């Protein structure tokens, strides 16, 4: 009811502005698109089922590159792997800016590695990549951390004795502990109440960001930000998480040994101290808090959500789970932990994991980009600052690259001989200069967690496979799988 009143006020305000201003001014020679109303933009062309459905319908009329006005703001949409690659890779520098997500803009304000731009972003990304490598990313030690966490997961699942459970927080806990070991220098007990509170905040926040209310907020940010709504709860949740990070940073300051940094926060504080006399240094307190928040949230939510979707799919298709079990038994056996070297010998399991990522389509609209300079693209002109949405869903669900994309089918990633085959349209981590900076660690986690759990357990659902619904509970900026129950039953007879 509250949302309906706000929308009505927005429409009335927009009509008044329409009468007062006339039509919106042109923004360069942008790609074609539906004619916008002042203030309201293309609300009349928006589908009630959400922004993605709207964009896909408009693609049918205007092609792979078109312009949509989200409220008064023009945004260029890129659909299909060719258009996305031409922009994000072939003109990588021009398209390397980060656009705004209205529901989190108040939290970050352009700070932190994900939402920064310009020199700030380049410095923070370079530092984050090198530091995460130093503390395990890309080295064998991160594999060992994931294996150790896998042991903890197996122990925790054995305690359930096959009882049905919602796996959300278990998957959150194990993925969060990997990024925590790198950022905070420690892992947390699954029963730690503060840790569980943080994970609950992550889950609720990602669900809110992905909700229909947040999509409406994206359309009318300049107006709706003054009213109650999901954006205020998102901000409140983020403030609680940031308080936890602030406390962790203060503890790190007290114990810091500049000659022996233990984790990401230590390394950042040492760098900040070296540059404290530089008034233009980007290594300040706010960038630290926002970067840690970005890494903590992204490193937890994305992988855990993918695993959550993956195991729901395994419940839906037990014949696929059976083939994965068979390959695990043949290559790894029952007595040793899976290792990254096993992946090359397990093409079917690897194809299943690829297909889980493609099918779950975690960020269907992709994170918004922004052109960093006046840019010519496919005969059009985008002024500096124009926002761009690379619609990742359009690549991951393209029938030219994936036969019957609406169906879950590991054969999308297998050749005629059963070997894993590369598919250029597989871009769940996006591409170009803004490609997910945690891609490497996420791929390790998905393989090791997935195979270790299925090495030790069979999975069953209280619902018949044919009745399991894979429809996401939310689909906006992100896709959130439905809540479900699952039983992990030991395959070892214990």
pLDDT in tens, 242-259: 999 999 999 999 999 999
Residue 129 or residue 19, greater confidence: 129
Residue range 42-53: mean pLDDT, rounded? 83
pLDDT at 47: 77
Residue 15's pLDDT is 43
pLDDT for position 24: 40
Average pLDDT of span 294-311: 93
More confident residue, 437 or 322: 322
Report pLDDT for 13: 47
Task: Give the range among 108-117, 211-220, 239-248 with minimum mean pLDDT.
Answer: 211-220
Question: pLDDT for 442-456, tens place per residue?
Answer: 999 999 999 999 999
Higher-confidence position of 3 and 490:
490
Give the residue-averaged pLDDT of 212-240: 90
Q: Is 290 annotated as a binding residue?
A: no
pLDDT of residue 493: 64
Mean pLDDT of the chain: 91
Please tell me which residue, 188 or 140, carries the higher pLDDT value. Answer: 188
Return the pLDDT at 28: 59
* CA distance linking residue 481 with residue 465, whole number of Å: 16
Residues 301 and 206 sit within 8 Å (Cβ to Cβ): yes
For residue 219, what pLDDT is reported?
82
> What is the reported pLDDT for 27?
53
- Rounded Cα distance, 433 and 91, in Å: 10
Over residues 424-429, mean pLDDT: 96
pLDDT of res. 14: 46
The pLDDT, as a whole number, for residue 133 is: 84
pLDDT band for position 494 (50/70/90)? low
Query: How far is residue 471 CA from its own chain's centroid?
Result: 18
Kindly tell me if the per-residue pLDDT of 6 is higher than 80: no
pLDDT at 182 over 60: yes
Residue, of 135 and 205, whose pLDDT is higher? 205
Q: What is the pLDDT of residue 46?
A: 82
Percent of the chain topping pLDDT 90: 81
Quick one: which of 174, 177, 156, 152 has its CA closest to 165?
A: 156
Residue 413: per-residue pLDDT: 97
Q: Over the stretch 141-166, which tens digit does the pLDDT of each residue have?
A: 889 999 999 999 999 999 999 999 99
Tokens of 142: 């991160």
Share above pLDDT 70 across residues of the chain, in percent, rounded to a whole number: 93
Would you say domain 100-369+434-490 falls under CATH 2.60.40.10?
Answer: no
Flag whether pLDDT at 1 surpasses 50.
Answer: no
Rounded to two decimals, the pTM is 0.91
- Alpha-carbon dihedral of residues 253, 257, 260, 263, nearest 10 degrees? -10
Residue 439 vs residue 134, higher pLDDT = 439
Provide mean pLDDT across the span 421-434: 96
Q: Higher model confidence: residue 165 or residue 19?
A: 165
């Amino acid at each position: 009811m509250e949302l309906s009143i706000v929308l009505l006020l927005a429409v009335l305000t927009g009509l008044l502005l329409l009468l007062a201003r006339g039509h919106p001014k042109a923004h360069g020679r942008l790609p074609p698109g539906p004619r916008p109303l002042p203030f309201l933009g293309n609300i009349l062309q928006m589908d009630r089922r959400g922004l993605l459905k709207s964009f896909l319908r408009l693609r049918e009329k205007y092609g792979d590159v078109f312009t949509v006005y989200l409220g008064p703001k023009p945004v260029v949409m890129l659909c299909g792997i060719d258009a996305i690659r031409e922009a994000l890779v072939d003109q990588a520098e021009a398209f390397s800016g980060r656009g705004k997500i209205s529901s989190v803009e108040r939290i970050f304000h352009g700070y932190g590695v994900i939402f920064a731009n310009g020199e700030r972003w380049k410095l923070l990304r370079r530092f984050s990549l090198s530091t995460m490598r130093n503390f395990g990313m890309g080295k064998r030690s991160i594999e060992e951390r994931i294996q150790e966490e896998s042991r903890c997961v197996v122990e925790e699942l054995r305690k359930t004795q096959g009882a049905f459970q919602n796996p959300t927080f278990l998957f959150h806990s194990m993925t969060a502990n990997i990024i925590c070991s790198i950022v905070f220098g420690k892992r947390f007990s699954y029963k730690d109440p503060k840790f569980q509170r943080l994970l609950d905040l992550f889950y609720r926040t990602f669900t809110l960001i992905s909700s229909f209310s947040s999509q409406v907020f994206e359309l009318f940010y300049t107006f709706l930000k003054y009213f109650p709504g999901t954006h205020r709860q998102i901000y409140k949740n983020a403030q609680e998480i940031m308080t936890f990070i602030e406390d962790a940073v203060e503890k790190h300051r007290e114990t810091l040994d500049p000659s022996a940094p233990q984790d990401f926060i230590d390394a950042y504080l040492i760098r900040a101290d070296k540059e404290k006399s530089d008034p233009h240094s980007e290594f300040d307190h706010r960038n630290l808090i926002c970067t840690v928040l970005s890494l903590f949230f992204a490193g937890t939510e994305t992988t855990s959500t993918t695993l959550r979707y993956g195991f729901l799919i395994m419940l839906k298709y037990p014949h696929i789970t059976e083939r994965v079990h068979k390959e695990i038994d043949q290559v790894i056996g029952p007595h040793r932990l899976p290792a990254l070297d096993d992946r090359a010998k397990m093409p079917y399991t690897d194809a299943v994991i690829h297909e889980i990522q493609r099918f779950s389509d975690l960020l269907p609209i992709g994170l918004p980009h922004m052109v960093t300079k006046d840019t010519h693209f496919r005969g059009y002109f985008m002024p500096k600052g124009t926002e761009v949405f690379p619609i990742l869903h359009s690549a991951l669900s393209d029938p030219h690259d994936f036969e019957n994309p609406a169906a879950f089918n590991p054969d999308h990633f297998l050749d005629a001989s059963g070997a894993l085959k590369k598919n250029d349209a597989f871009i769940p981590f996006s591409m170009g200069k803004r490609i997910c900076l945690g891609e490497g660690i996420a791929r390790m986690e998905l393989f090791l967690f997935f195979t270790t759990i299925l090495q030790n357990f069979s999975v069953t659902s209280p619902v018949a496979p044919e009745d399991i619904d894979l429809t996401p509970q939310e689909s906006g900026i992100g896709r959130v799988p439905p809540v479900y129950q699952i039983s992990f039953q030991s395959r070892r007879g214990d």
